[in-house]
Amino acid sequence: MSEGRFIIRGGRQLEGETVVYGSKNAATKMMVASLLTREPCVLENIPLSGETDITRELCERIGSRMSGAEGSRWEISTPEIATSVVPELSRKNRIPILALGPLLHRKGFAEVPVLGGCPIGHRPINFHLEALNRMGVRIERRAHSYYAEAEEIHGADLVFPFPSVGATESVLLTGVLAKGTTTIHNAATEPEIMNLIGMLRAMGADIRADEVRREIEIYGVERLGGVSARVMPDRNEVVSFATAALATDGDIFIRDASANGMQAFFEAVCALGGTCEVREDGVRFFGRRPYRRMTIQTAPHPGFMTDWQQPFCVLLTQAEGASIIHETVYDDRFGYVKDLCHMGANITVTDECLGGERCRFDGATYNHSARITGPTKLSGAAITVPDLRAGMAHMIAALAAEGESVISGIGHIDRGYAKLDERLRALGADIMRK
């Protein structure tokens, strides 16, 4: 984790143009998918963030050769699996569990490190483990790793209790080379998953995805080949830059941003009183207070994404009246709120389901709803970032605040955003990395 800090002097409107990078949450899974074949895979538009770096280490430990990894076009070749036993990495993210399927297909056994990732709730992996189990894989939890083996991986009819992104990806990466058909009911259908499916199909996989019914059918094939695939634009980056612009009464154009998978966000921006102008080559966002109060409920795609609520919460501190955010995906994703309050926001969190609808956390003691009363003036503060998207909320609050903020723990931010400080500076922000 980077020991550095960002020093931000807030109050400057963000203006001008930036370019959105490739999605880390698509790129990392596509890197793992390359392990399914001996042939070279070319991935375009890879972001150079901490997260792709950690995944690159995972692939290299397994035996992948990377070329072009200093730029955004990587060629990944794994003609031989050097080892399917990868118990430790220098840093952790949530990707290693996804490598089990590809490694099992190529070696029959595999060991991967336990997961890291942001502390935003319990984050169990029981759906992954139960699904792989049903497909013929035996998995043992060891002290710092998961060990798995299988004589034959076969298809299965799976019903997920919740449309989990990671579990859907685990099953895709395992089912493509399994014997027979695997069906996922209540699958996640995020655009990043469709990006992965597109790559797998181009490698020779046979997959049918019905996004409306949340049903994915994977017809196992004998082998997969090399591919050239492009990583989609990072939706979270678009949201982060857009909310930073709106929170500073700014006006920015995000080149290469697209409307794919962004509907719920665009609708929220318009309801708030901001504007999104979708063009062929990108999207322009601008807005000026007064902003209107809102009720937002996070949900799996096509709903308002859980990764967007933290930056949006900062915007709602500037809206007139009492707004609500009901977080229904993770049970503990309001850790950043106390820092926003320290900066002057008026936010309370509760374990109730606010906003009218009950979710699966109803009756539990998770603080998963927030009431935000605005508008409130924000002032600069010293803050330590607890996780990636919370870190972005702090950044946006600091950009909108009066005075200086010192943000520590920025390794979380670097894990998800490449060159964030440089790009914000180019939009007029007063930000320094120290």
Strands (E), 224-315: 227-230, 251-255, 275-279, 282-286, 291-292, 295-297
Question: Could you say which of 128, 326, 368, 394 contacts ligand EPU (CB under 6 A)?
Answer: 128
Q: Is 118 a catalytic residue?
A: yes
Q: 295 to 314, contacts with ligand EPU by CB under 6 A?
A: 305-307
Nearest approach, Cβ of residue 96 and ligand EPU (Å) = 11
Q: 5 or 94: whose CB is closer to ligand EPU?
A: 94
Q: 308 to 367, contacts with ligand EPU by CB under 6 A?
A: 329-330
134 binds ligand EPU (CB under 6 A): no
Q: How far apart are CA 310 and CA 12, in angstroms?
A: 20
Nearest approach, Cβ of residue 128 and ligand EPU (Å) = 5
Residues that contact ligand EPU, how many (by CB under 6 A): 25
Omega of the bond leading into 163 within 30 degrees of 0 (cis): no
Q: 94 or 423: whose CB is closer to ligand EPU?
A: 94
Q: What is the H or E stretch that residue 382 is in? A: strand 382-384
Question: Could you say which of 162, 213, 225, 350 contacts ligand EPU (CB under 6 A)?
Answer: 162
Q: Spot the catalytic one: 118, 276, 313, 353.
A: 118
How many CA atoms are closer than 13 Å to the CA of 44, on its beta-carbon side? Answer: 6
Nearest approach, Cβ of residue 158 and ligand EPU (Å) = 12
92 binds ligand EPU (CB under 6 A): no
* Residue 60, token pair as written in the block: 């290299």
Strands (E), 20-162: 41-44, 65-67, 74-77, 109-113, 138-141, 145-149, 157-159
Nearest to 172 by CA among 193, 152, 151: 193
Q: How far apart are CA 181 and CA 207, in angstroms?
A: 10
Q: 127 or 312: whose CB is closer to ligand EPU?
A: 127
Q: 77 or 240: whose CB is closer to ligand EPU?
A: 240
Burial 237-258 (b: 16+ CB within 10 A, else e): bbbbbbbbbbbbbbbbbbebbb
Q: What is the H or E stretch that residue 154 is in? A: none
Binding mask 400-419 for ligand EPU (x = CB under 6 A): ----------------x---
**Residues of the shown chain interacting with ligand EPU in the complex, contacts defined by CB under 6 A:** 25, 94, 118, 121-128, 162, 164-167, 188, 305-307, 329-330, 388-389, 416
Residues serving a catalytic function are: 118
